[in-house]
Amino acid sequence: MHRVAIVGRPNVGKSSLLNMLARSKVSIVDPTPGVTRDRVSTIVELEGPKRIEEPLLVEVTDTGGYGVYMAEGGRFDDAGMDLQKLTGSIEGQIASAVERADLILFVIDAQAGVTALDETVAKLLRERAMKKGDRSGDGKRVPVMLVANKVDAENWEPHALEASALGFGEPIIVSALNNFRRREMREKLWKALHEITPGDDDGRMPEMQIALVGRRNAGKSSFVNALAGSERCIVSEIPGTTRDAIDVRFEVDGKSLLAIDTAGVRKRSKFADAVEHFANMRMAASIRRADVVLLLIDSTEAISGVDKRLGAQVRESFKPCIIVVSKWDLAKGRKNVKGKPITTDDYRDYLDKELPGLVGAPIVFTSSKDGTNVHEVIDVAFDLYEQSRTRLSTGELNRIMKDILASRGPGGRGRVYYASQVATSPPTIVLMVNKPDLFEGNYERFLLNRFREMTPFAECPVRLIIRERKRASLQDLLSGAHRKSKEVGKIGGGEMVEDDGGGWMEVGEEK
């Protein structure tokens, strides 16, 4: 897979360019300089000029802006932290992106013209652009394509051409926000990459996606770096350093994975700006696209309302969740309420009390600093992922349902006609009953607990849908419409289910 790095000074539209290439909102776009701090990567499929060529899969990386990290009058954040301290980390992330790239897109703002900082970036690129000889021995530099962004109409094109003086040839003219000349840019990028041999990345799509969520400064970025074995995310004492959802691709035991490091969350009433609101929305979207969610809990701090809200958000998403207790090396040796050193059992009891909605979720105690249990989290994540993708046959599920009803029924005249698993990820079970209200509340919780005990879904959430049976109309019976579904069938007035042999049975009936 080819790798492309987007670089340039702050606020030239690098994030907008990434979003344009990806045809989706991958990176936060805001007029505040320095919004992007970490490397933000996504996989883009580029079509050839004639649309009959083999498309190219490209990993495109958006980087922070070269230059001092601070907006005018905005050197200090809402907590009084000096943001200028991040400058070295941001430029280190840029250098890493450049070193691993097969092609660099150097972006300038055509409307602002070539600035002194643009010239500094050009000089740095000539000095830092990795020689291919470092990897393949041919001694050639990584090519740099100059992109003149914010060309919103043809009258801006002469201004864009002035960028040729930077020494990287005639610029590609584009407007990332209004898609002016988007197709032309994508085609030029395809042609340039078509002539380049990609690096060592095998281009495999990830086998599993994990999202890391947690409140500010819970150790998410440190955990991602420990997983990836490199400084992929900026780690700083400044809370809220990660502003976007950062995709990090890495391998564990030959398996390709993608970790999504999300922005740290705090109380909504304390959000400093629109960027923080948008980052929170991106965090929620990351949960939705993940296969497994890692909820990081800082063991050195008490469980907060933010932790509880995040736990509820994960529970409502029906995503498999691992509670990752971070910084355990700092918590060990502290005293519990009885004055004795705190143990993992003590902390499990504490989590069960504070996060009751996640009781049953696996808990792993970790330390990113010394690597304790970091890769064990991935083993547990794969196990949860497999659980969530398991499908039970209808006959097997109804036999389980029969045993559950034999041990405890819903009371009253409640009756289950059949159970059927209609989906995976999450496992979704539909119960057709005569009186849904008898199955809600306590009995529903009882059913979910028994399903966890008696099915392969021991640690992943199960979505239970309870529906009232409805009689088939005469027209449906005559047309055979009741036979169209493999999972839900209607014969006469009685709800039945297709068994493993192709027949139909009611819960409690022996095949």
Q: With contact defined as beta carbons under 8 Å apart, do 472 and 493 qualify?
A: yes
Contact residues for 171 (Cβ-Cβ < 8 A; gap 6+):
108, 110, 146, 147, 148, 160, 161, 163, 164
Q: What pLDDT shows up at residue 46?
A: 86
Strand 2-7 relative to strand 103-109, pairing: parallel
Token couple for 407: 């041990």
Residue 473: pLDDT band with limits 50, 70, 90 = low
Q: What pLDDT shows up at residue 394?
A: 93
Residue 412: pLDDT band with limits 50, 70, 90 = confident
Q: What pLDDT shows up at residue 67?
A: 55
Average pLDDT, the chain: 77
- The amino acid present at 283, given as its one-letter code, is M
Question: How many CA atoms lie less than 13 Å away from 293 in the CB half-sphere?
Answer: 30
Q: What pLDDT shows up at residue 94?
A: 60
Q: Beta-carbon neighbour count of residue 184 at 10 Å?
A: 13
Provide mean pLDDT across the span 471-499.
Answer: 43
Q: Cis before residue 31, ω within 30 degrees of 0? A: no
As a whole number of angstroms, the distance between CA 59 and CA 43 comes to 5
Instruction: Tell which wins on pLDDT, 219 or 230.
Output: 219
Of 210-219, 435-444, 481-490, which gets the smallest average pLDDT?
Answer: 481-490
The full set of domains in the chain, from first to last, is: 2-194 (3.40.50.300), 208-388 (3.40.50.300), 394-505 (3.30.300.20)
As a whole number of angstroms, the distance between CA 278 and CA 282 comes to 6
Of 12-16, 107-111, 142-146, 225-229, which gets the smallest average pLDDT?
Answer: 225-229
In percent, the amount of the chain with pLDDT more than 90 equals 35
Of 103-107, 110-114, 389-393, 496-500, which gets the smallest average pLDDT?
Answer: 496-500
Q: With contact defined as beta carbons under 8 Å apart, do 127 and 75 qualify?
A: no
Whether pLDDT at 497 is above 50 = no
Q: With contact defined as beta carbons under 8 Å apart, do 333 and 299 qualify?
A: no
Whether pLDDT at 116 is above 90 = no
Residue 95: pLDDT band with limits 50, 70, 90 = low
As a whole number of angstroms, the distance between CA 223 and CA 365 comes to 12
Residue 226: pLDDT band with limits 50, 70, 90 = confident
Q: What pLDDT shows up at residue 486?
A: 34
Q: What pLDDT shows up at residue 56?
A: 85
Residue 280: pLDDT band with limits 50, 70, 90 = low
Q: Beta-carbon neighbour count of residue 130 at 10 Å?
A: 16
83: three-class secondary structure by DSSP: helix
In percent, the amount of the chain with pLDDT more than 70 equals 71
Distance of CA 206 to the CA centre of its chain: 12
Give burial (CB, 10 Å; 0-12/13-18/19+) of 298: buried
Helices (H), 45-101: 87-99
As a whole number of angstroms, the distance between CA 59 and CA 21 comes to 11
Contact residues for 509 (Cβ-Cβ < 8 A; gap 6+):
none
Give pLDDT tens digits for 19-51: 888 877 665 444 444 444 445 777 788 888 887
As a whole number of angstroms, the distance between CA 264 and CA 293 comes to 14
Token couple for 368: 């990113």
As a whole number of angstroms, the distance between CA 14 and CA 105 comes to 9
Provide mean pLDDT across the span 287-316.
Answer: 92
Q: What pLDDT shows up at residue 222?
A: 83
Q: Which phi and psi (to 5°) does residue 46 adopt?
A: -105, 130
As a whole number of angstroms, the distance between CA 401 and CA 136 comes to 61
Contact residues for 220 (Cβ-Cβ < 8 A; gap 6+):
212, 213, 214, 233, 242, 261, 262, 264, 296
Q: What pLDDT shows up at residue 269?
A: 46
Contact residues for 50 (Cβ-Cβ < 8 A; gap 6+):
none
Q: What pLDDT shows up at residue 70?
A: 42
Q: What pLDDT shows up at residue 199?
A: 61
Provide mean pLDDT across the span 172-177.
Answer: 91
Whether pLDDT at 459 is above 60 = yes
Q: With contact defined as beta carbons under 8 Å apart, do 420 and 497 qualify?
A: yes
